[in-house]
Amino acid sequence: MSHLSPRDRELVALGAAMGSNCVPCIEYHIPQARKAGLNDSEISEAIRLADRVRQVPARKVLEVALQMVIATPTSSEVVPSATVRTAQSAATD
């Protein structure tokens, strides 16, 4: 039925668990990944890659939120450009 090996299925499951921030899923799939033949180095690499991918939309949301706040200051509020640069630098770190 499935064309993916058990190892491949567990790599996908780890990525999905990380992407959905599902702690019970991680707790389930790390032991399953080991049973499927993945070693801790491979599991760690998959988790770290999934985390890097997951951070892209999180950074984008932060950028948009900061831009919206900066672009539309309330009343007579003015945001110094140094503050904007600091906030944007923090968003990309």
DSSP state of 4: S
State how far the Cα of 50 lies from the Cα of 15, in Å rounded to an integer: 5
Given this model, what pLDDT does residue 45 score? 97
Q: Is the dihedral of CA 29, 31, 35, 40 positive or negative?
A: positive
How many C-alpha atoms does 84 have within 13 Å on its Cβ side?
14
State how far the Cα of 12 lies from the Cα of 49, in Å rounded to an integer: 11
Chain centre to alpha carbon of residue 45 = 14
State how far the Cα of 92 lies from the Cα of 24, in Å rounded to an integer: 29
Average pLDDT for 17-23: 95
Domains of the chain: 6-92 (1.20.1290)
Tell whether pTM > 0.85.
no
Given this model, what pLDDT does residue 76 score? 56
Report the range of poorest mean pLDDT among 10-19, 28-37, 70-79, 83-92: 83-92
Mind listing the pLDDT tens digit for each residue in 63-92?
Answer: 999 999 887 766 555 556 555 555 555 555
* Bigger pLDDT: 13 vs 70: 13
